[in-house]
Structure 1
Amino acid sequence: MQKRPSSSAIAVIVGACLLFPTVFFVSGRAPLSSTIDPSWQLMLGFAVTHSLEFGRSIIFTYGPLGFLVAKYGLGDLESARIVGGLLLALAIVIAAARLISGVWWPFVALMFAWLIVGPGYDDITWQVFFFTMILVAAAVPSDASPSKATVTAAGAVLGLIGLVKVSFLFLAMPLVVSGSIVLAKKHVGSATAWVSSFVLAFVGGWVALGQDPAAILDYLRSSGEISSGYTGAMSLLPDKMVFVQVCLCTAATAIAGLALLRSKGTVIEKAHRTIVLFVVLGVTWKSAVVRADHYHIDSFLLLLPVLYFFAIKEFLIKGASVRMMAGSALTLAIVMAIAARASDYRPFKNARKVSNLYAESFQRLRNANTSVTPPLRDDVFRGLDNQTKRLVGRAPIDVFGYRQGAAMISGVNYEPRPVFQSYFAYTPLLQKKNLDYYLGSSRPSYVLFDIETIDGRFPTLDDASLLIHLIGSYEPVASSNGPLLLRPRVSGLPKPRLSSLGRVDLRFGQVVRLPILTSSRIVARVDMNLSITGRLVSLLWQAPPVRLRVKTADGRTGRYTFIPDMARSGFLLSPLVQRTSELYEPVSTHPNQALHNIQFVGRYASTLYREPVRLELFELIQ
């Protein structure tokens, strides 16, 4: 007689089918665009299909599986997106099943409903689900007696997630170490299976995706460099009221996390479970409050009820006292309510769209083998015009700025520099990698060039070293929908050089008058370092903001975001650039844009940064 599948197996399969549209409905299906976020998401799929090496040819915060969570795509990798979505939906449901195991059924239904309609089906969904998977998988070693198969599967999940985004890999590493210590106390074989499955899954996935095993260390080093500079360069202040609600939910979750020390198990098992919660909570908190826009804040808010549930689940199991269960349920409801309110009632809005979600997902599955490129929706910059495409032909081209999607959409021979979006080259090492690429034999024959930045930064801070090189070594030959098309200058011309104009040690708020140069540009190097207090603030929250105030020769003033690490290797300071074309026009044609004086300011900057700040000025001689 054939054995019938168990009810739990059926529940997992049904749950995976229900969750699949929510998890990866948007992967690669948004209308094409060449703006900032679509461009880096298009690059994730482009890198895989063009066999670019992560950590060498491409340096970013995402890994070879990052394309699975990108809602913008070029119509390729569709089968991989669907298969990956199904497998990950299955993994998430299994993780959710473990999370709610033994809990009274009303709370089971509540948490599963939250996972479906909480994140919804937009670009924050995958953040919530992946952190949930990490939370559950990392907690496996603290089970009373986990089987070797369960331990192996959990370790492999953590390894594969590290291929999606490097922060997931860095998050998983200490949890794997802590888990191996717990398992070693029980059975050395389980500890070996735990660590080896993590390593083999990561390395095996890396190789299967066409990556060179020797590039793994480069991937870790370069991604670590991006992560180390992220706080200083990408900080964005949150809405005050939302931030208060985030702090309340976080504090409640942290306090509840201490209850894990009272859960069942040995001291080391309880300690590991507590470490898992607080490490995941700490990393997701940092992710939310550094760049505190709705994308990062909402994903953290919608994850908090899951973390809180993980902390108090021992009090919601069958057989727990009614008083304890009622109190835990009430606090969980409060955390959910605050998270929903602070995220602008996203779960309730998503609940009304569930039927459309499933209908559109099934339509996508029916058309899985039909490569349909959605219409362009970017009214400002849709790609290269026909004249530019004919001029470039099949010669290699790079894009300076953040509209790399223009090259990918246009079908030209796009060969990106390692840190492919200029605003992400925010440390001296990252800037050097881009400059070395242009100084080597692989430099592009053409560059689509545009001065565009984010967060109100000083216009010429992004990829500053390469920008100075392009001014001296490339020249414009055409314009394409606004940006300039550059090509290398005729060989034999003298290379640009820097001539020192002096050095100033200044304090915050001090006005520094600049030399008057009528026919050349001024390059500045700034050595500005955090104090011990500033480092602590940056570690726990954001980098202390600094603003650069400028006054032009005609008396106009401006105030710009200043990123200290971007200015260490030197950046174009004067004259002030307002249009891209001005960089290739004689300085004398814009005398009023020469800077008369500058000033560094910031709230509590004198306390959070070391003084004096060193400013070196140079004349750029071309």
Structure 2
Amino acid sequence: MAESTPPEPARSTGQERVLFALFVALLWWSRFRAPEHPAVPDLDPSWAQALGWALVHGLQFGTDLVFTYGPLGWFAHSAWQPELFGWKLLAFELVFKLALCVFLARAIVRVRGPALKLLFALLLLVPDPGAEAFYFTSVVALAAWLLEHTSARRAPAPSARELLRALPAWLLLAVIAWIKFTYLLLVVAAIVCVVGRLFVHGARSASRRHAAIASGALLVVWCACGQNPLHLFAYVTSAWQVARGYAQAMSARADELDVVLGVASLAAGFTFVAAAWWKAGARELLPRLVLFAAGAFVAFKAGFVSAGSTTITCFGFALWAPWFLARDDAPASTRMRASTLTAACVLAVSMALWGYQRAQIAGTGATTQPLAAWNQVLADHLVSFRTLDTLPEAYRLERAIFAEKYDLPRVRERVGAAEIDVFQVELAVLFLNDLNWRPRPVFQSYAAYTEALAERNAAHFRSERAPRFVLWRFGTIDNRLPGFDDAPALIEVLRRYRPVLSEGGYLLLERASKEPARPRVETALLRDIAFDERVELPPFDDRGGVLRLDLRPTFAGALQGFFFQWPRVELEIETDGGLKGAFRVVPDAARAGVLIDPWMCGQDAVENACSGGTSQRVVAIRVLGAEAVRSAFQPAIGLVYEHLADLVPPFDPAKARELRFSMFERAPASTRETLPFERGAIDGRAVLVVHAPSELLWELEPGRWRVDARFGIVPPADGTICTDGATFALVLRNAKGEKPFWRQSLEPRTRPADRAMQKVTHEFALPAGTRCLLRTNMGPNGDGACDWCYWTDVRFTKLAPEEPR
């Protein structure tokens, strides 16, 4: 059928142009985001900071870094990076976002009727659908504009004016594409829709030229970010692996009502687009339906894989996207078609708003006044704008505070300018200590959740690209099995690195000068097991037990995983220490193997394993077979239990003791423990948790000394203080007896100041044959049941002898 070319809208009056400009400014103001605070060593701030560091230092995405975020990802989550401050404000927030807002606002002009215009304007301004929905919808809006303004006439070639007019839209799409891989997927779908429409209309020359411009825009922006064009394919393939594994590794149970609302709102939006373009013919209808369906798919997956507050992405897309694919030049509608359009519009908006409100409540606890929330956003942005001139200095001072809090002077002194990586996620501690980061490809361990990604990290540590130092801080997410994240790389680190020191709760390891021998692998178990079957694992004298599980998906499970999410798989374990618990495992990564003998649960277990000390081991396992898991995976589970000989290094008692008491300047010569000492963290400091009564004894040379120490009573997790207090003392002991030099009692029930960390500095003379003790005793009632106390930052400093008077 002949193509129907939409007529150009009538020239706007001056008043309409002013109103349009004001609306664009207000929309931009609503979406403005100032640079964020400096990162602290937590999971999300760390990767946000890492993206900025990588961009500044020229790291290559796809080779040096493997992540779903691309070279422009930092600009969407901009943890403070001073070198990019101007680019963030001027290029990204002002130019780029303002241009996007122009395209978004333009759609209001095309909506018929003042009531619908007002409704659409309010929907664009007031709800904040989050960054994901904003960029997904922007892709749809730009593609819809290109569908309207690329001529499908069978001409020898499109006019230069048409190509130049389309260039800004293609450049904006290219910028969005390199923010995140899922945005790139939708941008590719948009290119296919625009170019495909021209092709099926017979405008072959136009389709080729627009395809060339779109590809060129992607390549130009990629190179402008300092990326090698030869690495582009590596980024796409590696980011695809990360995105593919997300639905299995990060899934969380979604509320059934939220799923129904999400599907219903997207289906209503799809119906709205179909009804709007039904009379235009298949060649105009199909590109728009494919475009909307592609956006709906990525928005639904982004919202419902991890569920909870992230469902706002799906509802935000359903609330916005259909409007940009509406038709303003439709012929007179039949009553049935008009009714269909109205019903679809009402259903899409109502279902999306309902789901949006539920997502807001799930994320913040209570958000029932969207207009008030929007007003607060505008006010906050005004404050941010007013303080932009002082923001760099404020963030510099804030970073200095964080750097002092997470200061690792001994690590800095030992590492110097050498390359270092962090195991497992707390990258920001490197940046705060100005260390030279050499990342493994999947630079946070939780994201190495497929067999291929895990093996890629392991290969990195086997190669010459591995850093000289590794800083190890135990951590995981979502109750995953300890030691499961990045397990093959963990094994390589154990084989190739040796402990140097422990500071602030971080273990510093240095690469051994000698390449380790090829490991001897012995298979102890090789068979299929069933769900809920208890399997006992044989012990090995020198540890080194690696468990591999092969959960094979069913066809129904694969479909569910592709279109929605995978069910959570849990492994129940029993240790030789009597612990029994269930932990999450990711089926794809489970095939790569996980070290369970020794069991790497907690920082103490990590440091024990690295120094050859004793740790618990897993003696039995059971794959739990919930109904959803049984339907997604085949009943037979492949199990391999292997022994890696000589994996754990020989026991080094001196190093083990040094690491255990790393929160002290020097390790005590002996201890007296009512209950075993434990390591912990309080107020960001590594502490030694002791139970009263207890003693720490040092053997110092005679002379004058000063002791500096911090101490206190461990704050209760539930806020209920059950201890009657505790007494802390510095005591000198010799053959004749003991002499206390300092004593302080804490009674947190009656004295609030005693609940905080305390500090003492004391000078004393130490005669020959005398030893120094730090003692912790029970409170005034002699009830030690709840007397959990701690010591940290203990330092003994030798002083010069006093001058004779």
TM over 0.5: yes
**Shift, 1:151, TM fit:** 3.4
Alignment of 1:13-28 (within 5 A): 13-26=21-34, 28=35
1:421-476: CA deviations, max 9, x gaps? 00111122222222222222222111111221111111111111110111121122
More deviation, 63-72/311-320: 311-320
Q: Distance in 2 between matches of 1:231 and 1:127?
A: 16
State the match for 2:54 in structure 1. 47
More deviation, 32-41/146-155: 146-155
Sort the Cα spacing of 1:359 and 1:43 in 2 relative to 1 into closer, same or farther, 3 A: same
Of residues 22, 28, 36 in structure 2, which corresponds to 1:29?
Answer: 36
State the match for 2:315 in structure 1. 301
Alignment of 1:540-619 (within 5 A): 540-585=563-608, 590=614, 593-619=617-643
**Shift, 1:17, TM fit:** 3.0
Aligned-partner residue type, residue 585 of structure 1 = N
More deviation, 560-569/306-315: 306-315
Sort the Cα spacing of 1:56 and 1:93 in 2 relative to 1 into closer, same or farther, 3 A: same
Aligned-partner residue type, residue 298 of structure 1 = I
Aligned-partner residue type, residue 304 of structure 1 = A
Q: Distance in 2 between matches of 1:468 and 1:378?
A: 35
State the match for 1:38 in structure 2. 45
State the match for 2:415 in structure 1. 392
Secondary structure of the residue that 1:601 maps to in structure 2?
A: coil
Secondary structure of the residue that 1:447 maps to in structure 2?
A: strand
Q: Does 1:152 align with 2:160?
A: no
State the match for 2:177 in structure 1. 162
Q: Distance in 1 between matches of 2:315 and 2:452?
A: 34
**Shift, 1:202, TM fit:** 1.0
**Shift, 1:66, TM fit:** 1.0
Q: Distance in 2 between matches of 1:65 and 1:568?
A: 33
Of residues 431, 438, 450 in structure 2, which corresponds to 1:427?
Answer: 450
State the match for 2:756 in structure 1. none
Answer 1 or 2: which has greater helix percent. 1
Secondary structure of the residue that 1:458 maps to in structure 2?
A: coil
Contact 1:537-1:543 within 8 A present in 2 as well: yes
Aligned-partner residue type, residue 355 of structure 2 = A
Sort the Cα spacing of 1:513 and 1:379 in 2 relative to 1 into closer, same or farther, 3 A: farther
Q: Distance in 2 between matches of 1:419 and 1:325?
A: 47
Whichever of the two has the greater Rg, that structure is 2
Aligned-partner residue type, residue 32 of structure 1 = A
Aligned-partner residue type, residue 134 of structure 1 = V
Aligned-partner residue type, residue 317 of structure 2 = L
Sort the Cα spacing of 1:508 and 1:374 in 2 relative to 1 into closer, same or farther, 3 A: farther
Contact 1:576-1:595 within 8 A present in 2 as well: no
Alignment of 1:286-435 (within 5 A): 286-294=301-309, 296-310=310-324, 327=343, 330-331=346-347, 333-342=349-358, 343-344=360-361, 345=367, 347-367=370-390, 372-373=395-396, 375=398, 383-435=406-458
1:279-335: CA deviations, max 9, x gaps? 1111111111112131x2122222211124346665999999897786566445523
Q: Does 1:118 align with 2:123?
A: no
Sort the Cα spacing of 1:417 and 1:573 in 2 relative to 1 into closer, same or farther, 3 A: same
Sort the Cα spacing of 1:541 and 1:331 in 2 relative to 1 into closer, same or farther, 3 A: closer
Contact 2:265-2:318 within 8 A present in 1 as well: yes
Contact 1:551-1:595 within 8 A present in 2 as well: yes
Of residues 178, 183, 208 in structure 1, which corresponds to 2:193?
Answer: 178
State the match for 2:76 in structure 1. 69
More deviation, 571-580/417-426: 571-580
State the match for 2:498 in structure 1. 475
State the match for 1:217 in structure 2. 233
State the match for 1:192 in structure 2. 208
Q: Distance in 2 between matches of 1:610 and 1:468?
A: 29
Q: Distance in 1 between matches of 2:577 and 2:489?
A: 29
Show structure 2 runs of 5+ residues with no match: 1-11, 152-161, 362-366, 647-805
Aligned-partner residue type, residue 55 of structure 2 = V
Alignment of 1:429-468 (within 5 A): 429-468=452-491
**Shift, 1:276, TM fit:** 0.9
Of residues 540, 559, 565 in structure 2, which corresponds to 1:536?
Answer: 559
Sort the Cα spacing of 1:522 and 1:261 in 2 relative to 1 into closer, same or farther, 3 A: same
More deviation, 522-531/398-407: 522-531
**Shift, 1:137, TM fit:** 1.7
Contact 2:65-2:441 within 8 A present in 1 as well: yes
Show structure 1 runs of 5+ residues with no match: none
More deviation, 329-338/479-488: 329-338
Secondary structure of the residue that 2:526 maps to in structure 1?
A: strand
Compare relative contact order (CA 8 Å, sep 6+) and give the higher one, 1 or 2.
1
Q: Distance in 1 between matches of 2:391 and 2:40?
A: 21
Sort the Cα spacing of 1:269 and 1:493 in 2 relative to 1 into closer, same or farther, 3 A: closer
Contact 2:312-2:356 within 8 A present in 1 as well: no
Aligned-partner residue type, residue 107 of structure 1 = L
More deviation, 448-457/190-199: 190-199
Q: With the length of structure 2 as denominator, give the TM-score of the two structures.
A: 0.70
1:21-50: CA deviations, max 9, x gaps? 332324x32353220000111111111100
Q: Distance in 2 between matches of 1:249 and 1:329?
A: 9
**Shift, 1:413, TM fit:** 1.1
Of residues 286, 289, 297 in structure 2, which corresponds to 1:271?
Answer: 286
Secondary structure of the residue that 1:226 maps to in structure 2?
A: helix
Q: Distance in 2 between matches of 1:373 and 1:14?
A: 35
Q: Distance in 1 between matches of 2:257 and 2:49?
A: 34
Q: Distance in 2 between matches of 1:331 and 1:92?
A: 27
**Shift, 1:383, TM fit:** 3.4
Answer 1 or 2: which has greater strand percent. 2
Aligned-partner residue type, residue 389 of structure 1 = R
Question: May I ask how many residue pairs the two structures share in their alignment?
Answer: 613
Aligned-partner residue type, residue 267 of structure 1 = A
More deviation, 84-93/279-288: 84-93
Sort the Cα spacing of 1:518 and 1:414 in 2 relative to 1 into closer, same or farther, 3 A: same
Secondary structure of the residue that 2:82 maps to in structure 1?
A: coil
Aligned-partner residue type, residue 300 of structure 1 = C
1:174-219: CA deviations, max 9, x gaps? 3312321212326334323321221111100111111111111111
Secondary structure of the residue that 2:110 maps to in structure 1?
A: coil
Alignment of 1:245-264 (within 5 A): 245-262=261-278
1:553-612: CA deviations, max 9, x gaps? 344311011111112122112343322232342699656544234334332433321232
More deviation, 593-602/376-385: 376-385
RMSD: 3.1
Secondary structure of the residue that 2:303 maps to in structure 1?
A: helix
Sort the Cα spacing of 1:231 and 1:315 in 2 relative to 1 into closer, same or farther, 3 A: farther
State the match for 2:780 in structure 1. none
Sort the Cα spacing of 1:13 and 1:325 in 2 relative to 1 into closer, same or farther, 3 A: same
Sort the Cα spacing of 1:527 and 1:181 in 2 relative to 1 into closer, same or farther, 3 A: same
